[in-house]
Amino acid sequence: MANTMQAAVVEHFGQPLVIRDIPLPIPGPGQILVKTEACGVCHTDLHAAHGDWPVKPSLPFVPGHEGIGLVAAIGPGVTEVTLGERVGVPWLYSACGHCEHCLAAWETVCASAEFGGYTKNGGFAQYILADPKYVAHIPAGLAASAAAPIICAGVTSYKGIKETKAKPGEWLAVSGIGGLGHLAVQYGKAMGLRICAIDIDDNKLEHARRLGAEVLVNARNSDAIEKMRAATGGGAHGVLITAPSLGAFHQGVAMTRKRGTCVLVGLPPGEFPTPLFDVVANCITIRGSFVGTRQDMAEALAFAAAGKVKADIELQPLSAINDVFERLQRGDVPSRVVLDFS
Ligand code: NAD
Ligand code: ZN
Ligand code: ZN
């Protein structure tokens, strides 16, 4: 093994990533080194590289939290994985394991959690240092490039849908049919829900229709809310907002059925107005949802391994990352770009 590796590095917020060689990490006690095969590009990577959120990563850093690869080296004391095993290094990079949230199997909100491609270097690199207690175990038969979008976009969508508490036969509205949303449509279908898809791009809506959505709503139409409420007989029981746009949040709450739940997963910077009277009088629940636990991850991957959900991917080399980021910013990525390291 060489002692350097190629990586795409954020050196300054809002500037193009720099592709350069950085030192190859050596796994210490309780750590592993993963040789990257594929890494999805999530809109979160764009927020990270722009420094969009209140808690920013320290510069320089390597983004990427949909990295899949083979265990290439194991540090002392590691028992959870074996050499050559295929694993994913997700957003939830590690957690403390013993706080009240970890003990309740809510490790995603652990105050000591580290985040892949954010507080720890991620998958836009030939190798990734990982915590074997928190890696995703990729089922046999699922290719690295197919698994990559599942370990963030997939698990986040799946967990978010569970958090709506919508039951089979009820309506799920998915706002934003991009990387997360095109998988949310498929998870929702597989979970027995009826799907209403919302986007600002008619091509994305057409894609949702092909994936099984029954109601399509272009969010830019002035009567989008009324049409959606009429088509679903009073709004969706569960609404999942993946759109990285504040306008979608106000609209999503207005599309929630009485006693329904609106789950927020999109993370554009800022705040959105909430119509207090409607939320109170209609007994609507608004809740946040953040990726998924390791158990959610195993379940989300099982859907993919069983062929019930399949990410639509476009393969690109690491060298194309700045072009991919520009397209993602413009809404010009049909579903998910996966960086191919093979
Ligand atoms: P993406 O760019 O692939 O998809 C976004 C989609 O939203 C696009 O299809 C776009 O056309 C659509 N859109 C834009 N404005 C809209 C509007 N006003 N109404 C409806 N649709 C609109 O992004 P992605 O990778 O799917 O990520 C989406 C968001 O989810 C990002 O903000 C990301 O940071 C966040 N995210 C959150 C979590 C979490 O754990 N909560 C996990 C992953 C990603
Ligand atoms: Zn992500
Ligand atoms: Zn903890």
* Domains of the chain by start residue, with CATH: 4-152+292-340 (3.90.180.10), 154-288 (3.40.50.720)
At 284-307, the pLDDT tens digits run 999 999 999 999 999 999 999 999
At 229-276, the pLDDT tens digits run 999 999 999 999 999 999 999 999 999 999 999 999 999 999 999 999
Residues with CB under 6 A from ligand 1: 42-44, 47, 152-153, 156, 175-181, 198-201, 204, 219, 242-245, 247-248, 265-268, 289-291, 328, 331, 333
The DSSP call for residue 219 is: T
Q: Which atom of ligand 1 is nearest to the CA of 333?
A: 3
**Spacing, Cα 265 to ligand 1 middle (Å):** 8
Q: Which atom of ligand 1 is nearest to the CA of 178?
A: 4
**Spacing, Cα 232 to ligand 2 middle (Å):** 29
pLDDT reported for residue 14 = 97
Over pLDDT 70: what percentage of the chain? 100
Record the pTM. 0.98
Q: Which residues surround ligand 3, an ion (CB under 5 A)?
A: 95-96, 99, 102, 110
- Tell me the ligand closest to 263's alpha carbon: 1
pLDDT band at 321 (very low <50, low <70, confident <90, very high): very high
pLDDT at residue 196 above 90? yes
Residue of 39, 41, 43 with the most ligand 1 atoms within 8 Å of its CB, for mutation: 43
At 2-18, the pLDDT tens digits run 899 999 999 999 999 99
pLDDT band at 1 (very low <50, low <70, confident <90, very high): confident
How far apart are the C-alpha atoms of 277 and 62, rounded to whole Å? Answer: 44
pLDDT reported for residue 2 = 87
Q: Mean pLDDT for the chain?
A: 98
Q: How many C-beta neighbours within 10 Å does residue 238 have?
A: 26
How far apart are the C-alpha atoms of 300 and 105, rounded to whole Å? Answer: 16
Q: Which helix (H) or strand (E) holds 100?
A: helix 100-103
Q: How many C-beta neighbours within 10 Å does residue 227 have?
A: 15
pLDDT reported for residue 203 = 98
At 159-170, the pLDDT tens digits run 999 999 999 999
Over pLDDT 90: what percentage of the chain? 99
**Burial (CB count within 10 angstroms: exposed 0-12, middle 13-18, buried 19+), residue 312:** middle
